[in-house]
């Protein structure tokens, strides 16, 4: 197929579908319990240099405990999919975890403003970047999930986003229409937070799924954190709710309030006071270092972090806020 | 005449663009406020979608994120990024409201960086997010932004999101879906559209209290002028009451 134009951005992951098939051929299909702590899961499945994806949408249904643990364990030189990433990106920047980055959305926390520390890191020249968009990253995961090496899309063409991407312009063999060819991402490791999972990794997600179903299918190793573990009988009682099957999953970690300080659909709203404090304290690097010591480095796990920021009283108010109960709004 | 600020005026102007039964993808902040106002005034059947997956929500209060729980409140579907973007690419979404750090005369937007070195930018912004996708796919892109000569630039530092690209038929030749593109630019001072041949930005309405000269002085490139430039209508008391009491009681957006 003739390439009509191409971007100068580097492609950080190998899009070769046969190499991916060779990996997936050997991935275990055994129905075995995979329950472990977040600490164990990160030790076992997240390595220096790996290309990482984080599920959810920035500060909504994010595996916050895994992001903290990656920073706590000091992972370095990773690649990262900066796709719909906001607070997750902010956490990973605090640990300077990655040095190469596919960008769709970074640095910002939507209506909350921009992260001063993430901006400093991205303006330092320490991170190699390729430009993409939310949808083009989504279709790159989709290509991986489908077991092909690229996927065509009709965005990005004609812009500087294209010029700095790793995309190529091709022509449809049927109509002659120009398309952007987006290379598949087969990531090394991903983490996704879900509402419910059984001990084998069968998962249920409520609310929006963002790109997570394709992220789960295109990644080589998958860590699941779940609000609660449910019996396998419940999964089998009605399999129509299962959106991630167990053979994709390598670790299952029960982490109630695992998206905190992010939002979790029909469970709890985001802790806006804490996120505001985080953005504010980043303005002063010395203060930020103390803040990270308190909230990440000195914490044993996610529950100690929540305890330090209001514990169950805070969680209860966020649960009320999620449902727009009167008390929480006043 | 009712007393109002420029943010309220921009939101009311944008809301009036949306006809009943239309579909739109919006971001947080002013775009969302405008869509909510339209739904509570002239367009009760407006289909509001969010790129993260929320579809046809009855948004109860201002979302903080386009993926938070407010974006699926009483919605008909909680889906995902591909579902929403594919709906746009298929041609079923009429409008999108966007912003950006910089805009040029063809409606191209920069939300990526300032400075010449891409790997070490002077200022790094978030990047496209879904903006490039929505501007590529939705039939009519409307931009809401305050106006000054730096923001309305002769040349943007980086084309993150496509407008009419280099004008004329350049967008059609690029391969982006035919017939979609920038429709209107709503600022604190004026409303602009794009001249049909050159695709250059053109003044069509001026907000109360501003002159053509104000609009041109606060723009870094030469604006075309429509044959007849009208005075934009101020917000009505009803619009302002709904906006202030129901949509943004905490003044997150209208207090800016």
Q: Residue A322 is nearest to which of B69, B126, B131, comparing CB atoms?
A: B69
Alpha-carbon gap: A209 to the closest alpha carbon of chain B (Å): 5
User: A156-165, B2-11, B53-62: which has the highest mean pLDDT?
Assistant: A156-165
Cβ pair A177:B175 closer than 8 A: yes
The beta strands (E) that lie in B79-200 are given as 95-98, 102-103, 109-110, 113-114, 123-124, 140-144, 181-186, 190-194
d(CA B187, CA A203): 46
Chain B residues lying within 8 Å of A266, measured CB to CB? 69
With contact defined as beta carbons under 8 Å apart, do B97 and B105 qualify? no
Cβ pair B78:A106 closer than 8 A: no
Cβ pair B82:A135 closer than 8 A: yes
Q: Which of B224, B101, B217 is nearest to B149 (CA)?
A: B217
Q: Report how many Cβ contacts below 8 Å link chain A to chain B.
A: 200
ipTM above 0.95, yes or no: yes
Percent of chain B having pLDDT more than 70?
Answer: 99
Cβ pair A156:B136 closer than 8 A: yes
Alpha-carbon gap: A32 to the closest alpha carbon of chain B (Å): 30
Chain B residues lying within 8 Å of A160, measured CB to CB? 112, 158-160
- Quick one: residue A159, left, alpha or beta (phi over 0 = left, psi -120 to 50 = alpha)? beta
- pLDDT tens for chain A, 330 residues: list them: 799 999 999 999 999 999 999 999 999 999 999 999 999 999 999 999 999 999 999 999 999 999 999 999 999 999 999 999 999 999 999 999 999 999 999 999 998 999 999 999 999 999 999 999 999 999 999 999 999 999 999 999 999 999 999 999 999 999 999 999 999 999 999 999 999 999 999 999 999 999 999 999 999 999 999 999 999 999 999 999 999 999 999 999 999 999 999 999 999 999 999 999 999 999 999 999 999 999 999 999 999 999 999 999 999 999 999 998 865 554
Chain B contact for A263 (CB, 8 A cutoff): yes
* Long-range contacts formed by A273-276: CB under 8 A, 24+ apart: A274/A309, A275/A59, A275/A87, A275/A109, A275/A112, A276/A112
A41, two tokens: 């899961």
Does residue B154 have an active-site annotation?
Answer: no
Chain B contact for A178 (CB, 8 A cutoff): yes
Residue B2 pLDDT > 70, yes or no? no
Domains of chain B: 6-247 (3.40.1080.10)
* Long-range contacts formed by A24-27: CB under 8 A, 24+ apart: A24/A147, A24/A220, A27/A220, A27/A247
With contact defined as beta carbons under 8 Å apart, do B52 and B71 qualify? yes
Cβ pair B80:A84 closer than 8 A: no
Chain A residues lying within 8 Å of B29, measured CB to CB? 111
> What homologous superfamily does CATH list for A5-76+131-329?
Glutaconate Coenzyme A-transferase (3.40.1080.10)
Cβ pair B159:A159 closer than 8 A: yes
Q: Residue A270 is nearest to which of B68, B130, B132, comparing CB atoms?
A: B68
Chain B contact for A241 (CB, 8 A cutoff): no
Cβ pair A107:B78 closer than 8 A: no
């Amino acid at each position: 197929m003739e390439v009509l134009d191409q971007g100068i951005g580097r492609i950080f992951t190998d899009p070769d579908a046969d190499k991916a098939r060779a990996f997936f051929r050997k991935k275990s299909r055994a129905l075995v319990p995979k329950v472990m702590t977040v600490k164990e899961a990160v030790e076992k499945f997240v390595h220096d240099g790996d290309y990482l994806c984080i599920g959810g949408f920035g500060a909504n249904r994010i595996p916050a405990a895994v992001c903290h643990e990656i920073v706590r364990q000091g992972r370095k030189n990773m690649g990262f999919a900066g796709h719909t990433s906001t607070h997750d990106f902010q956490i990973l920047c605090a640990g300077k975890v990655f040095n190469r980055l596919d960008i769709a959305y970074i640095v910002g926390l939507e209506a909350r403003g921009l992260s001063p520390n993430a901006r400093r890191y991205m303006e330092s020249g320490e991170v190699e970047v390729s430009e993409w968009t939310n949808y083009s990253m989504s279709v790159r995961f989709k290509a991986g999930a489908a077991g092909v090496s690229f996927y065509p899309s009709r965005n990005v063409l004609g812009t500087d986003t294209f010029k700095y991407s790793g995309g190529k312009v091709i022509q449809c063999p049927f109509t002659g229409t120009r398309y952007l060819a987006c290379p598949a991402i087969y990531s090394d490791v991903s983490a996704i937070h879900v509402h419910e999972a059984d001990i084998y990794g069968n998962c249920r997600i409520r609310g929006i799924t963002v790109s997570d179903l394709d992220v789960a299918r295109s990644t080589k190793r998958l860590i699941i954190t779940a609000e609660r573990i449910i019996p396998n009988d419940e999964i089998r009682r009605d399999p129509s709710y299962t959106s991630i099957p167990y053979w994709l999953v390598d670790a299952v970690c029960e982490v109630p309030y695992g998206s905190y300080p992010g939002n979790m659909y029909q469970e709890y709203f985001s802790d806006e006071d804490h996120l505001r404090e985080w953005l504010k304290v980043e303005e002063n690097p010395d203060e930020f270092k103390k803040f990270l010591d308190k909230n990440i480095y000195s914490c044993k796990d996610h529950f100690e972090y929540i305890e330090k920021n209001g514990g169950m009283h805070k969680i209860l108010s966020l649960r009320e806020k999620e449902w727009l109960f009167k008390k929480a709004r006043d | 005449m009712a007393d109002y600020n420029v943010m309220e005026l921009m939101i009311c102007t944008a809301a009036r663009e949306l006809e009943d039964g239309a579909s739109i993808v919006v971001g947080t902040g002013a775009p969302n406020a405008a869509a909510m106002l339209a739904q509570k005034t002239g367009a009760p059947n407006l289909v509001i979608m969010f790129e993260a997956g929320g579809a046809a929500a009855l948004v109860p209060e201002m979302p903080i994120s386009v993926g938070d729980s407010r974006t699926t409140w009483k919605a008909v579907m909680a889906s995902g990024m591909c579902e929403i973007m594919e709906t746009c690419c298929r041609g079923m979404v009429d409008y999108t409201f966007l912003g950006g750090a910089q805009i040029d005369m063809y409606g191209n937007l920069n939300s990526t960086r300032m400075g010449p070195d891409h790997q070490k930018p002077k200022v790094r912004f978030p990047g496209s997010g879904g903006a490039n996708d929505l501007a590529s796919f939705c039939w009519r892109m409307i931009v809401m932004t305050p106006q000054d000569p730096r923001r309305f630039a002769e040349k943007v530092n980086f084309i993150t999101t496509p407008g009419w690209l280099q004008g004329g038929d350049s967008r059609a030749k690029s391969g982006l879906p035919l017939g979609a593109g920038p429709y209107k630019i709503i600022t604190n001072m004026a409303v602009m559209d794009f001249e049909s041949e050159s695709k250059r930005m053109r003044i069509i309405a001026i907000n109360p209290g501003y002159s053509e000269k104000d609009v041109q002085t606060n723009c870094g490139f030469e604006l075309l002028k429509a044959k007849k430039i009208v005075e934009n209508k101020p917000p009505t008391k009803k619009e302002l009451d709904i906006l202030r009491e129901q949509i943004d009681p905490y003044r997150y957006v209208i207090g800016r």
